[in-house]
Amino acid sequence: MNWSSSIDGAFPKPLRVILRGVGQVFFCCNALTGLIFLVALYIGGLSAGAAATVGVITSTVTAYLLGFSEDDIDAGLYGFNGTLVGPCLFLFLEHSPQLWLYVVLASILSTVVLAAMMRILQPYNVPASTSPFVLTCWMFMIAVYAFDSFSRGAILPTPLIPSEVSGVAAVPVDMWVTALTKGVAEVMFADSIIVGILFLTGIAIVSLRGAAMALGGAVVGIIVPTLLGANQTLIEMGLYGFNPVLTMMAIGWVFLKPSGRSAVLALLAGILTVVCQAGLANFLAPVGLPTLTFPFVLVMWMFLFAAAKSKYWSDTAAK
């Protein structure tokens, strides 16, 4: 939307770059959208908002200091992984003064990992996306077992052998709004209906198709796990929704030319993301790690690699 671009350009450059980094979590290179996302995070919780702020500033400044592409930095591409690192570590690890240092170090590393992943994937025309955030957070979560100053939080999964789910049932109709909005909000680890609505609003400011893909991913994150017999509580919390949200946005709006065909492909990718998430959750259970957004990253990579071989999408694959 032209008016949102005008507002984006009105922000002072340093602030615009930082806010674009927040917006890029949902592929939105827009400072106004980033501001809405950041305000939403603070509404969801002061710690999460502050951690995201520290993360995006640290990762962006690191990119400047290391001399990475200014065009990429200005577009916010070195900010969104840091934005995710902060709230993630505050969610899964016990809060302590040292945790802030942990967030800063992880945000710095996410920038270095992103640059490395971009270099590796560039010949294949595939984006690194949130893979640096996933790899960095996994490393820091495992590392806490070696340090006395840190300990795992109650939400971090306990290492165990996977077992069959219990509490399987269809999501009640009156819980659909909750599950839909939380499916969007959980992209940034927010367990809040209001945050989900604000995230969708921020995306819609940039693109109605992008918002539609995000909402479609949230719907997939309810219907598919329900049909497959997943745990109802997890579905209602939006934990099966946030990965399909990102997958459908990536395939149906960002990296392939928006069309009816790419929308169908996005739907298929969203469905398979649910299965991939369930598989990865069981795969990671023995080491006690959450899947984070890796199901989205893995499915997106596979579909973009496949699109390059198709006569329908080979000329529209990711830049």
**pTM of the predicted model, to two decimals?**
0.94
| 190 φ, ψ (degrees, to nearest 5) | -105, 125
Residue 168 DSSP SS3 = strand
Q: Is there a single domain that holds both residue 145 and residue 178?
A: no
- Name the residue range of residue 211's domain: 165-319
Q: Is there a single domain that holds both residue 273 and residue 172?
A: yes
pLDDT tens digits for 30-44? 999 999 999 999 999
Q: Is there a single domain that holds both residue 51 and residue 169?
A: no
Assess contact for 211 and 204: CB atoms under 8 A.
Answer: yes
pLDDT tens digits for 86-120? 999 999 999 888 999 999 999 999 999 999 999 99
Assess contact for 231 and 168: CB atoms under 8 A.
Answer: yes
Q: Is there a single domain that holds both residue 142 and residue 192?
A: no
| 309 φ, ψ (degrees, to nearest 5) | -100, -5
Report the domain count for the chain.
2
Q: What is the pLDDT of residue 319?
A: 44
CA atoms of 91 and 145, how far apart (whole Å): 16
Q: Is there a single domain that holds both residue 255 and residue 173?
A: yes
Q: Tell me the CATH number at 307.
A: 1.10.3430.10
Q: Is there a single domain that holds both residue 66 and residue 199?
A: no
CA atoms of 175 and 202, how far apart (whole Å): 23
Which of these three, 105, 121, 153, is where a domain ends?
A: 153
Q: What is the pLDDT of residue 316?
A: 60
Task: Flag whether 248 is in a domain.
Answer: yes
Q: What is the pLDDT of residue 315?
A: 59
Which of these three, 130, 153, 176, is where a domain ends?
A: 153
Q: Is there a single domain that holds both residue 207 and residue 319?
A: yes
Residues of the chain with pLDDT under 70: 1, 165-171, 173, 314-319
